[in-house]
Amino acid sequence: MGDGLTTSVVFWTVLGFVLGSIPFAPLIGRIALNVDIRQVGDGNPGAGNVWRAGGWRVGMLAVAFDFMKGAVPVYVAHFQAGIEGWPLLPVALAPVLGHALSPFLRFRGGKAVAVSFGIWSGVLGWQGFFGLGISIGLFHLFVESDAWTIILGTATFLLALILFGAPPEILLLAVLNLVLFTWKHWRELAFPIHLNPALFHRG
C-alpha cells in the first residue's frame, strides 16, 4: 500500500472502531426509558434488550443506531474513499470489534448483530444486508435459540459467499464475523438446538 492508502485505511479503521464502541443502546435505554438495559433480559448491552425493556419503537431506534455505526464508516470508506480488496478488511472489521469490545463499557460490549448488518451493507450494499438477513431469518423460523439462529444463519451466509465466488478477503471477513458471534454467544451455544415449538402448534 502507498502512504496515502495506508493513512486512509488507518483513519477509517480507527474511526470505525470509535464509532462502533459508542454504546448507543445503553444510552438510549438510559435516556428514553431510564433503565440500565444490562439489567434486562440476558444482560447484553445491545439493541435487543432496549426492545425488551421499552417495546419495538425505542428498540428499532437502538437497532438503527447500531446498524448505522457499522454501515456509515464502511460504506463511505469503500464507496467514497475507494478502499477495496484486502485494505477494506480491517476497516470493515473495526466497527464490530468496537461494539463487542467497547472501552466505554470496560470492554464488555454487545453481541454485534445489528452492527454486523451495518458492515455487510457497507461492503456489499443491499446484497450484504439482505443476504445475511435472509440467511438468519430462515433459521429463525425453525430454530428456537437466537444464538443458534445467528450462528447457523451466518454460516449459511458464508457458504453463499463461497458459492457465488466472493474474493478471499470477503470470505475471511465472514469467517471472522462468525468467530466473533460464536465467542459472544458461547454460553447459549452450550445448549443443544431445539426446533421452534410454534412449528408443532396446530390451530
For the question of whether the overall pTM of this predicted structure is more than 0.85, the answer is yes
Provide the residue ranges of all domains of the chain, joining segments of one domain with +: 3-200
Quick check: 2 pLDDT over 90?
no
Quickly list DSSP for 61-100.
HHHHHHHHHHHHHHHIIIIIS---STTHHHHHHHHHHHHH
Residue-wise over 159-181: b if at least 16 C-beta within 10 A, else e?
A: eebeeeebeebbeebbeebbebb
Q: How sure is the predictor about 200, in pLDDT bands with cuts at 50, 70 and 90?
A: low
Task: Name the β-bridge partners of 100.
Answer: none
Rounded to whole angstroms, the Cα distance separating 154 from 149 reads 8
Rounded to whole angstroms, the Cα distance separating 174 from 194 reads 25
pLDDT digits (tens, 9 = 90+) for 42-87: 888 989 899 989 998 999 999 999 999 999 999 999 999 999 999 9
pLDDT digits (tens, 9 = 90+) for 140-180: 999 989 999 999 999 999 999 999 999 999 999 999 999 99
**SS3 assignment, position 195:** strand
Rounded to whole angstroms, the Cα distance separating 158 from 51 reads 28
**SS3 assignment, position 43:** coil
Task: Name the β-bridge partners of 143.
Answer: 195
Distances (CA, A) of 173 to 91, 120, 151, 154: 10, 9, 15, 11
